[in-house]
Amino acid sequence: MNIYLVGGAVRDSLLNLPVTEKDWVVVGATPEQLLAQGYQQVGRDFPVFLHPQSRDEYALARTERKSGSGYTGFVCHAAPDVTLEQDLLRRDLTINAIARSEQGELIDPYHGRRDLENRLLRHVSDAFSEDPLRVLRVARFAARFANLGFRIAEETMALMSKMTRGGELAYLTPERVWKETEKALATDSPQVYFQVLRECGALAVLFPEIDKLYGVPAPAKWHPEIDTGIHTLMTLAVAARLSPDIDVRFAALCHDLGKGLTPPELWPRHHGHGPAGVKLVEALCQRLRIPNHIRDLAKLVAEYHDLIHTVQALQPKTLLKLFDALDVWRKPQRLEQLALSSEADARGRTGFEESPYPQGDYLRQAFRVASGVTSAEVVADGHQGIEVRNELNRRRRKALEQWKTQQDAPTKTPHTPPPPQRSDR
C-alpha cells in the first residue's frame, strides 16, 4: 500500500501558495485494509475515507468510465491493481494531476510542473469532455490564478467550446453552477470567470441575462467603454478590489441587468433600467437557487444604484424613504454594501477606475446622522403608539436638514470626475 498527496495541495505548494486542505490517494489497498486501520468510510459512489486523526480525505486509486450524460454519469472502478498514473489520468488539469510520495518524490506523468512554469491551464486527456462541470472549474481556476499570469491552453478552450455547443452544460444542476460561481466570486479576479465562460459560449447558456448585455451601448459621455457587458465586468473587478463580500460582488455583477431589456431604438439611453432589472435578478437567483440574502442585496442595488449616484441632491425626506426601502434600520450592513456596489459601478468605467466617490461617504454620514436619533429617546419624551414613529421621522428629518445645511455650505474642493447621471444612463 502506497499513499500519495495529490491535487491542489501539491499544486499550491509548488506555486508557494498556502495549502488549506490535503487530499490523498491510496494505491494497492482495499477498503477493508483502511477500515482495519481506523479510517472512516464516507464515500457513497466511490471509496473515500477520513483519516482517524487528521480527518483528511483518503481515496482509493480509481478509474472512471462514462456511462451516461452530465457530471454524474460515471462508473468508478477502485481496486488494488489501479495504478497512480491511471488515477491521475482521470483528473481535469495537468497542474492538478501531480502527486507527491511520502518520501517527497514528485510523480508528474502528464507534465503538470511544466504547465505550472508556463502558467498554462491544460486538460489532462480527452476524458475532460465527459464532465461538463469542468468547464466551470477551469473558468474558476483562470480567475483564481489570473494574478499569477495563468491562461487557458488553446486546445482546452476549444474543447470547452465544443462541450458547450454539444449541450452538456444542460445537465448541470443549479446548485453545482452556483457553488462554482460562488467560489469564483471569492477570487481576486472574479471577472475572469465570466470572461472565460463567455469565450467558450457557456455564459449564454448559464447566465443569459449577463450575456445579453454585450453589444448594448451606453452613452459615451458617461461610459467611454460604451459596451454594457464590458462595463459590467469592469464593475465586478472594481467591486473585488473594494470588498471581499460576495454579496457586494454579485450585486455589482447584476446591477445593470435591466439594460438588456431596453429596445434597440432607445439606445444608448436606458431610462428605468434599474427597476426593470429587479425582475431579472429575481429570475436569475431563483433559477440558480442563490441564497436569499445575496438575492435581496442584488435587487436593491439594481433598483437604487443610480439614486445613490445623486445622493447629495436628495432632500432629507427622500433620504429617509431610501433608508426605509433599504431596511437599514434593521440591517445596517446593507448601507455599506450598497455604497460599495454603487462605487464599483461609478468606477467601473474606462478612465474612472481610480476616481473618488464622495457619494459613498455622504450616504454613510447621512445614515449616521439619522440613526443617531433613536426611538428610545422619543418614547422617553412621552410619545406613544403611532406617535412614536411619526415623531421619530420628524426628528430624523430635522437632524438631516441641519446636517445637510452644513454639508451644502460652499467650500473649495478639488474637481472630481462626475458620476454617471440617471437621466443619461
- List binding-site positions for CTP: 8, 11, 91, 137, 140
HSE of 115, CA atoms in CB hemisphere, 13 A: 22
Q: Which residues pair with residue 93 across a beta bridge?
A: 123
- The torsion angle over the Cα atoms of residues 36, 37, 39 and 45, rounded to 10 degrees, is -50
Binding residue numbers: 8, 11, 21, 23, 91, 137, 140
What single string gives the DSSP state of each residue in 163-203?
Answer: HHHTTGGGGS-HHHHHHHHHHHHTSS-HHHHHHHHHHTTHH
C-beta contacts of 382-388 below 8 A and 24+ residues apart: none
Binding residue numbers for ATP: 8, 11, 91, 137, 140
| Helix H or strand E segment including 155 | helix 154-165
Please choose, from the candidates 129, 135, 149, the residue with its C-alpha nearest in 3D space to the C-alpha of residue 189.
149
Q: Are 140 and 92 in contact (CB under 8 A)?
A: no
Q: Are 63 and 86 in contact (CB under 8 A)?
A: yes
Buried-state track 166-183, b at ≥16 Cβ within 10 A, e below 16:
eebbebbeeebbbebbbb
Binding residue numbers for Mg(2+): 21, 23
The three cell numbers of residue 286 are: 431563483
Residue carrying C-alpha cell 490535503: 22
CA distance 79 to 60: 7
Contacts of 417 (CB under 8 A, 6+ apart): 351, 352, 355
Contacts of 98 (CB under 8 A, 6+ apart): 6, 10, 11, 14, 88, 106, 107, 108, 112, 113
CA distance 30 to 168: 34
